[in-house]
Amino acid sequence: MELWGRMLWALLSGPGRRGSTRGWAFSSWQPQPPLAGLSSAIELVSHWTGVFEKRGIPEARESSEYIVAHVLGAKTFQSLRPALWTQPLTSQQLQCIRELSSRRLQRMPVQYILGEWDFQGLSLRMVPPVFIPRPETEELVEWVLEEVAQRSHAVGSPGSPLILEVGCGSGAISLSLLSQLPQERLRGSSWMREDRAAPSPLWFTDSNAYHIYLARLWPRRKGCWSRVIAVDKREAAISLTHENAQRLRLQDRIWIIHLDMTSERSWTHLPWGPMDLIVSNPPYVFHQDMEQLAPEIRSYEDPAALDGGEEGMDIITHILALAPRLLKDSGSIFLEVDPRHPELVSSWLQSRPDLYLNLVAVRRDFCGRPRFLHIRRSGP
Amino acid sequence: MNRHLCVWLFRHPSLNGYLQCHIQLHSHQFRQIHLDTRLQVFRQNRNCILHLLSKNWSRRYCHQDTKMLWKHKALQKYMENLSKEYQTLEQCLQHIPVNEENRRSLNRRHAELAPLAAIYQEIQETEQAIEELESMCKSRQSLALWPRLECSSVIIAHFNLELLDSSNPPTSASQVAGTTGLNKQDEKQLQELALEERQTIDQKINMLYNELFQSLVPKEKYDKNDVILEVTAGRTTGGDICQQFTREIFDMYQNYSCYKHWQFELLNYTPADYGGLHHAAARISGDGVYKHLKYEGGIHRVQRIPEVGLSSRMQRIHTGTMSVIVLPQPDEVDVKLDPKDLRIDTFRAKGAGGQHVNKTDSAVRLVHIPTGLVVECQQERSQIKNKEIAFRVLRARLYQQIIEKDKRQQQSARKLQVGTRAQSERIRTYNFTQDRVSDHRIAYEVRDIKEFLCGGKGLDQLIQRLLQSADEEAIAELLDEHLKSAK
């Protein structure tokens, strides 16, 4: 089963590929009989819900509703223009629904089937195996925005913090922060012309090259607006974040860098100054829990985006260990973690007084589980 | 004084409703004819202004309903009292020392009364001007009694003529002109001048009365708010006439908000089988939305022979109902929501949640524990957006409860009332077989149901009439209260 999953993932992990049809060769999928006559949206939803339930697909009704709504051009079935609910569908639309539903029968997550999903109201492209943002993470973004607002209120000037996101994936956290953070614009058109001339940096694997590049460009951007540096070790994630940034016209405010956080080499020379904030939804699943994940996750999402090692702490501790080099004094780190982590993190921080980090607050998610950590740096 | 009242009553267009039953035939020419055409009549007939007016004034005065007169006397008295209060306040604030608290409330009252007093002052001055104009004419009263006199008495007044001997009445304009040394051209000019002056004064006083009425009508607290409009199909013994009707009404309001250039955001749409609508909700935002839509809340009744749907089999007249609820949308500060009072229900994954689970069910249910209100939303894919929408709807419903509590305390006897009483009363009937819509509160009928349901001019006109009636009732109530307190 796992081998099948890995093969599938390997096939699907090409950049920009939206759930290819090659997966069919491995499945025991049977062709569905064509629906007789013209069907309306409501009837189709009932039909496919029945099919999914028979095959034990979880969230049968929600999946079929999303698929039908998507084919008819709406985000949710509830928001579909009411006239379309009873109108008969074209054969093209029926065919499309059939195709998408067959992918659902192979346990592909709905987000990959549709190729897009919403996060904090932004519409983002989703491509396997890049990690699908979870609804809990929306609350992490809310918390960060509250903190930024509070801080700028205290200082008395509009906040334009420098933010680093570790493990950006599809760019959900970075882009939703950017779209909601205040921006200051420089007056005068000369700045705009300058901006257009500068190509937006993508990714560099040679640290020397981007070191020089950034050093050249950075001074021009000083004092402009909130900036985010997004980092990920997977090229697929980098290109997806870039695509989403362009979709939302935020490509000028985000710096997307292909970088493996855990490798020692990356942090020896940093071209950018210390950060105000580090935000991350790092892989935090305990290694022994990886097997119990649903097929949707196991077979389609990048395990490296989920597996956090034995206690799920590997990446978390890496980020925290880099704080002295990356973070300003009294800068903050915001993390999403497993409900068992707040205590583990607290005791780990106590074992590393050299980092000068304190666990300031733990926030619960909408299910009441302790999910988010706020760690602040205080000291030399 | 009473003569002035008559003029005043007659001139104000919004009072035409009251006066309709009381104006007699011979004064119809005044009511219907626009000022300009009246001038034409004057010019054509070359009648004396005073002659015409005085004749009709006396007759109208006799036929006035005493009740109407009393009501408007009450208005005069009210305005007098207000202006007296304003003057005493002014003196008080200037000369007599008062402590801070009283000063603040006195200042507030002073600011409230200032525009009303100003308008009243202007009205007084304008009426005085009219009086002067007429007194000049009046001094030549003997002329007024001669029905065939063709020259304008204003001309005579203007030239300070002697009072002519009544025993020897002049029979033509030229005769009078001859005695005073005027020629026909000057006569005409002066006549026109006088009429123009009268016209401008009339216009001015019309405007002032309009302003006065506008300032007197108490401003509703929530008029400028946005609304959430909710429609729900009623229940019948069989068939789906209610559901079909609900859909038509919802479409009508959607078109109306388009017509008024408002934004229409669908919050909830639950269709019934066979193309009807069970219930729906939408958020409408724009200028003065609540002011226009507040009287749409209540039960709407339909009578038709259904063409489509289950009921169409038997070709008989069916009756159905649907209810419309209009909730003004509060600003954040208006409704305080304590997080402790809320329970938020979302999909709860077993186990650790977060990265362990991939779920697409983003529906949110909000329960307000103290009041038991429940709001559900699954319009969006993003859970946090669904939560925002649910919060908004919850705020609006709580706000509505607050408003209803306020209204109940007021105990208004008005026919056009927004609140609990209106919710259970039938406000409008849509009769398709007779092709008319009747609003029961103002006994107003509209023809051409199909055009009305397009949510354009037809509906707009009905709403304007409703607002007008509401204003009139509001002022009447204001005067009643004032009289009661005066006693």
pLDDT tens across B321-365, in order? 898 988 777 665 567 777 888 888 887 777 788 999 998 999 999
In the prediction, which pLDDT does B381 show? Answer: 92
Question: Above 70 in pLDDT, residue B287?
Answer: yes
Task: Answer with the residue of higher pLDDT: A100 or B477.
Answer: A100
Min Cα separation B273/chain A (Å):
9
Residue type at B337? L
Question: Above 80 in pLDDT, residue B13?
Answer: no
Task: Answer with the residue of higher pLDDT: B145 or B214.
Answer: B214
The answer to whether A294 faces chain B, any CB pair under 8 Å, is: yes
The answer to whether A142 faces chain B, any CB pair under 8 Å, is: yes
Min Cα separation A335/chain B (Å):
12
The partner residue sitting opposite B355, judged by closest CB among A59, A134, A296, is A134
In the prediction, which pLDDT does A338 show? Answer: 95
In the prediction, which pLDDT does A246 show? Answer: 95
CA A335, CA A136: separation in Å to the nearest integer? 12
Question: Above 80 in pLDDT, residue B8?
Answer: no
CB contact under 8 A, A75 and B359: no
pLDDT tier at B412 (50, 70, 90 boundaries)? low
Q: Strands A122-125 and A116-119, how do they pair?
A: antiparallel
| DSSP label of A301 | S
Q: Strands A162-166 and A227-232, how do they pair?
A: parallel
Which of B243, B340, B360 to mutate to test binding with chain A, by most A CBs within 10 Å of its CB?
A: B360
Residues of B in contact with A336 (CB under 8 A): 354
The answer to whether B105 faces chain A, any CB pair under 8 Å, is: no
CA A357, CA A350: separation in Å to the nearest integer? 9
**Residues with Cβ within 8 Å of residue B9, at least 6 apart in sequence:** B15, B19, B68, B72
The answer to whether B64 faces chain A, any CB pair under 8 Å, is: no
Which pTM value belongs to this model?
0.57
The answer to whether B167 faces chain A, any CB pair under 8 Å, is: no
Residues of A in contact with B268 (CB under 8 A): 78
Range scoring the smallest mean pLDDT among A264-268, B120-124, B182-186: A264-268
pLDDT tier at B311 (50, 70, 90 boundaries)? low
Q: Read off the pLDDT of each residue in A274-300 and give the average, rounded to a whole number.
A: 93
CB contact under 8 A, A121 and B380: yes
Task: Report phi then psi at A216, rounded to 5.
Answer: -75, -40
Q: Read off the pLDDT of each residue in A255-276 and give the average, rounded to a whole number.
A: 75
Q: What's the maximum distance between 2 C-alpha atoms anywhere in chain B?
A: 114
Min Cα separation A370/chain B (Å):
10
Residue type at A302? D
Average pLDDT, chain A: 80
In the prediction, which pLDDT does B228 show? Answer: 84
Q: Read off the pLDDT of each residue in B46-56 and give the average, rounded to a whole number.
A: 36
Number of residues assigned to chain A: 380
CA B139, CA A31: separation in Å to the nearest integer? 106
Token pair of A3 as six digits: 């081998």
Residues of B in contact with A306 (CB under 8 A): 355
Q: Read off the pLDDT of each residue in B288-317 and give the average, rounded to a whole number.
A: 81
pLDDT tier at B53 (50, 70, 90 boundaries)? very low
Min Cα separation B202/chain A (Å):
54
The partner residue sitting opposite A136, judged by closest CB among B275, B354, B378, is B354
The partner residue sitting opposite A109, judged by closest CB among B277, B358, B379, is B358
CB contact under 8 A, B361 and A62: yes
In the prediction, which pLDDT does A120 show? Answer: 93
Asked if B159 and B123 count as a contact pair (C-beta separation under 8 A), the reply is no
Instruction: Determine the 3-state secondary structure of B6 from DSSP.
Output: helix
Burial of A150 (0-12, 13-18, 19+ CB in 10 A): exposed
Task: Report phi then psi at B321, rounded to 5.
Answer: -135, 160
The answer to whether B344 faces chain A, any CB pair under 8 Å, is: yes
Q: Read off the pLDDT of each residue in B192-219 and give the average, rounded to a whole number.
A: 78
Give the model confidence (pLDDT) of A8-58 as tens digits: 554 554 443 443 443 334 344 444 555 555 588 988 999 999 999 999 999
Beta carbon pairs, A and B, within 8 Å: 104
Q: Read off the pLDDT of each residue in B174-195 and give the average, rounded to a whole number.
A: 62
Min Cα separation A194/chain B (Å):
37
The strands making up B342-345's β-sheet, listed across from edge to edge, are: B342-345, B364-368, B373-377
Min Cα separation A109/chain B (Å):
8
CB < 8 Å & 24+ apart, contacts of A191-195: A191/A224, A194/A220, A195/A252
Give the model confidence (pLDDT) of B123-160 as tens digits: 888 888 878 877 765 554 434 333 333 344 444 444 44
CA A273, CA A265: separation in Å to the nearest integer? 18
Give the model confidence (pLDDT) of A77-109 as tens digits: 988 877 788 888 899 999 999 999 999 999 999
The answer to whether B456 faces chain A, any CB pair under 8 Å, is: no
CA A58, CA A107: separation in Å to the nearest integer? 9
Range scoring the smallest mean pLDDT among A192-201, A282-291, A329-338, B466-475: A192-201
Min Cα separation B312/chain A (Å):
19
**Residues with Cβ within 8 Å of residue B311, at least 6 apart in sequence:** B238, B239, B240, B241, B318
CB contact under 8 A, B358 and A132: yes
Min Cα separation A156/chain B (Å):
24
The answer to whether A311 faces chain B, any CB pair under 8 Å, is: no
Which of A42, A49, A57, A62 to mutate to test binding with chain B, by most B CBs within 10 Å of its CB?
A: A62
CA A252, CA A183: separation in Å to the nearest integer? 12
Q: Where are the alpha helices (DSSP H) in B33-164?
A: 35-45, 49-63, 66-95, 100-138, 141-144, 153-158
pLDDT tier at B44 (50, 70, 90 boundaries)? very low
Placement of tokens 């209106």 in the chain: B422
Residue among B419, B438, B413 at smallest CA distance from B427: B438
pLDDT tier at B69 (50, 70, 90 boundaries)? very low
Range scoring the smallest mean pLDDT among A124-133, A210-219, A358-367: A210-219
Residue of A nearest to B278 (CA): A82
CA A311, CA A145: separation in Å to the nearest integer? 29
Give the model confidence (pLDDT) of A169-178 as tens digits: 999 999 999 9
In the prediction, which pLDDT does B247 show? Answer: 92
Q: Strands A162-166 and B227-233, how do they pair?
A: unpaired
Question: Above 70 in pLDDT, residue A352?
Answer: yes
Average pLDDT, chain B: 72
**E strand or H helix at B387:** helix B383-410
Residues 224-283 of B with CB under 8 A from A: 247, 266, 268-269, 271, 275, 277
CA A45, CA B215: separation in Å to the nearest integer? 57
A233 CA to centre of own chain = 13
Placement of tokens 């989920």 in the chain: A306
CA B221, CA B115: separation in Å to the nearest integer? 19
The answer to whether B359 faces chain A, any CB pair under 8 Å, is: yes
